[in-house]
Amino acid sequence: MERRGAMDVCILGAGVVGLMTALELQDQFPNANYTIIAHLFNQNTTSDGAAGLFHPSSTFTGPTLDITENWIADSYSYYDNLRNSSDGEKSGVFQCSGFQLSSSMPSLIWSNYMKKVAPVYRYATEEELKVYPGNWKYGSYCVTLGIECRRLLPWSLLRFQESGGKVISKKIESFGELADDYDVVMNCSGLSAAQLCQDRQMVPIRGQVIKVVHNYGHGGYGVTTAPGTAKHAVNLFRQLHSGCSESQPSKL
């Protein structure tokens, strides 16, 4: 289909990648028409669960070292500018600091990427290594940014809409569905790209599905050492282990 006039651009995905892409496009190319299509938003996305710590490890790689360093430097300055803007608090970006410690591998506690962007990044001193419980041999200290996606995602979505962006809630099964309506599709579909693009190289590199049995006792309001809560937790564990919904004797 031949198109004339302003370009119609679809951003597929409303996680942190899709939303940041959408805002950047609106900023750089204000004359195009933008639509975000996604089936999950805000708290239902993977992005919502991210700790949001800006700390790329030295194993993080883009297509080339130069490109990777540019991505990191651009991202850091984007978020830092946002933090210092009037929207800083609303967008969930904040400054934080802390140590990274290891008892065995010096490579785990050092990232050359961080050295280039963080305002403070240095090795921990001998005294600092002793402050924390554990037998820490190596450590680094950094001041960096935290990005609370629970705030950033709704903030970005609102900003996108206020700037004229359209949002459609729907799941697409193939890019062909978008061909008639858009000139360009930005694929920001996260791990779902594995199915959508038949991309066998797209795999989660981190994160395991774990089952958590919560045992909070009485939440601090009563007898938190009550054996009943421990028994309940053990029953839940048994159910998970046997894969059945009712508690049954097992060989645990």
Ligand X SMILES: Cc1cc2nc3c(=O)[nH]c(=O)nc-3n(C[C@H](O)[C@H](O)[C@H](O)COP(=O)(O)OP(=O)(O)OC[C@H]3O[C@@H](n4cnc5c(N)ncnc54)[C@H](O)[C@@H]3O)c2cc1C
Binding positions for ligand X, rule: CB under 6 A? 12-18, 37-40, 45-47, 49-53, 171-172, 188-190, 192, 196, 207
Q: How far is the CB of 73 from ligand X (least distance, A)?
A: 15
User: Is the separation of the CB atoms in 152 and 97 below 8 Å?
Assistant: no
Question: Minimal distance in Å, beta carbon 252 to ligand X?
Answer: 28
> DSSP letters along 83-129, please?
HHSTTTTTTTEEEEEEEEEESS-GGGG--HHHHHH-SEEEEPPHHHH
CA geometry: angle 185, 35, 191, nearest 5 deg: 55
Identity of the residue, 18 or 165, whose beta carbon is nearer to ligand X in the bound complex? 18
Least gap, CB of 179 to ligand X (angstroms): 15
Nearer to ligand X, 129 or 152 (CB): 152
Q: Which is nearer to ligand X, 129 or 147 (CB)?
A: 147
Closest CA to 72 of 91, 86, 92, 58: 58
Q: How far is the CB of 56 from ligand X (least distance, A)?
A: 7
Contact (CB, 8 A) for 56 and 113: yes
Residue 33 bridge partners (DSSP): 8
Q: Which residues are CB-contacts of 156 (< 8 A; sequence separation ≥ 6)?
A: 19, 20, 22, 23, 91
Q: Which is nearer to ligand X, 113 or 129 (CB)?
A: 113
Compute the least distance from the CB of residue 195 to ligand X, in Å: 7
- CA-to-CA distance for 208 and 205, rounded, in angstroms? 9
CB of 53 to ligand X, least distance (A): 4
Reduced to 3 states, what is the DSSP secondary structure of residue 7? coil
Of 71 and 237, CB closest to ligand X: 71
Integer Cα distance of 42 and 78 in angstroms: 21
Q: Which residue, 214, 191, 193, is CA-closest to 204?
A: 191
Cβ closest to ligand X, residue 60 vs residue 250: 60
Closest residue to ligand X using C-beta atoms: 15
Least separation in angstroms between CB 49 and ligand X: 5
Q: Which is nearer to ligand X, 125 or 169 (CB)?
A: 169
